[in-house]
């Protein structure tokens, strides 16, 4: 039986006021299950990233609700939300947002440091995760010395080090070449996706659709279709 990780009901989000008001997401309801790799796809401006932000506790909706394992996300305080994101959600941003002044290992260790775990223990655990993504030898280098693919893997290691049960990736292959992108998503599917974890990916890169369990198609802020992916959970 499928266990629901994220349940979104009647989500609406608009930006601006009056005549300048733009409806980004309209009446979207969606269930995301553990053990699946869900893609949110659609053209630019279709509301994918806005939806992803709302279901991951980043952006407050104007209407509707989001529950993570039954816990209403948007009734929580800002600090409560921050704590939830830190402990349960791993983020991989489109531009990676790695700190150029820190070493690769220190970048990976950030979620643990934010959890107030000891510095040295966090770095040691970061080395373990760097090994998992094949970058142990790059641990002491700053991220700017790494290739795009390597930086993406560092970002993934950072997202995974806190062992989140929800992994959120925003356009993970946007700045990677075709092979590297496929390898990254393949790695996520084979190494990181487990029955206790869900992976939500926003993308419009058709080259990686084959790894999806389900694909949510969006247009003009609405879900226009949900299809089973080539790789069903």
Candidate ranges 39-47, 51-59, 145-153, 182-190; the one touching other proteins (CB under 8 A): 51-59
CB of 97 to other proteins, least distance (A): 4
- In the window 137-196, what residues touch other proteins (CB under 8 A)? 158, 170
Residue from 120, 144, 190, 206 touching other proteins (CB under 8 A): that is 120
The smaller minimum CB distance to other proteins, of residues 94 and 231, is found at 94
Candidate ranges 32-40, 64-72, 86-94, 205-213; the one touching other proteins (CB under 8 A): 86-94
Handedness of CA 220, 222, 225, 230 (dihedral sign): positive
How many residues of this chain bind other proteins (CB under 8 A)?
36
The smaller minimum CB distance to other proteins, of residues 123 and 233, is found at 123
The smaller minimum CB distance to other proteins, of residues 97 and 145, is found at 97
Residue from 9, 113, 127, 141 touching other proteins (CB under 8 A): that is 113
CB of 231 to other proteins, least distance (A): 25
Q: Footprint of other proteins on this chain (CB under 8 A)?
A: 49, 52-53, 58-59, 78-79, 82-87, 89, 91, 93-95, 97, 99, 101-102, 106, 110-114, 116-120, 122, 158, 170
């Amino acid at each position: 039986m499928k266990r629901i990780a994220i349940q979104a009901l009647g989500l609406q989000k608009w930006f601006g006021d009056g005549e300048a008001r733009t409806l980004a997401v309209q009446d979207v309801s969606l269930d995301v299950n553990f053990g699946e790799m869900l893609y949110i796809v659609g053209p630019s401006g279709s509301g994918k990233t806005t939806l992803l932000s709302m279901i991951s506790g980043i952006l407050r909706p104007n209407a509707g609700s989001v529950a993570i394992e039954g816990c209403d996300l948007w009734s929580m305080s800002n600090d409560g939300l921050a704590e939830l994101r830190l402990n349960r959600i791993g983020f991989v941003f489109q531009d990676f947002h790695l700190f150029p002044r820190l070493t690769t290992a220190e970048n990976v260790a950030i979620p643990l440091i934010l959890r107030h775990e000891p510095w040295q223990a966090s770095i040691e655990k970061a080395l373990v995760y760097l090994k998992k993504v094949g970058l142990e030898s790059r641990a002491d280098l700053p991220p700017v010395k790494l290739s795009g693919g390597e930086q993406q893997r560092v970002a993934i290691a950072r997202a995974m080090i806190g062992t989140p049960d929800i992994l959120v990736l925003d356009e993970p292959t946007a700045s990677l070449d075709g092979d590297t992108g496929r390898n990254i998503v393949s790695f996520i599917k084979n190494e990181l996706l487990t029955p206790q974890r869900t992976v939500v990916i926003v993308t419009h890169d058709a080259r990686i659709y084959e790894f999806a369990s389900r694909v949510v198609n969006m247009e003009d802020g609405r879900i226009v279709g949900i299809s089973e992916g080539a790789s069903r959970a």
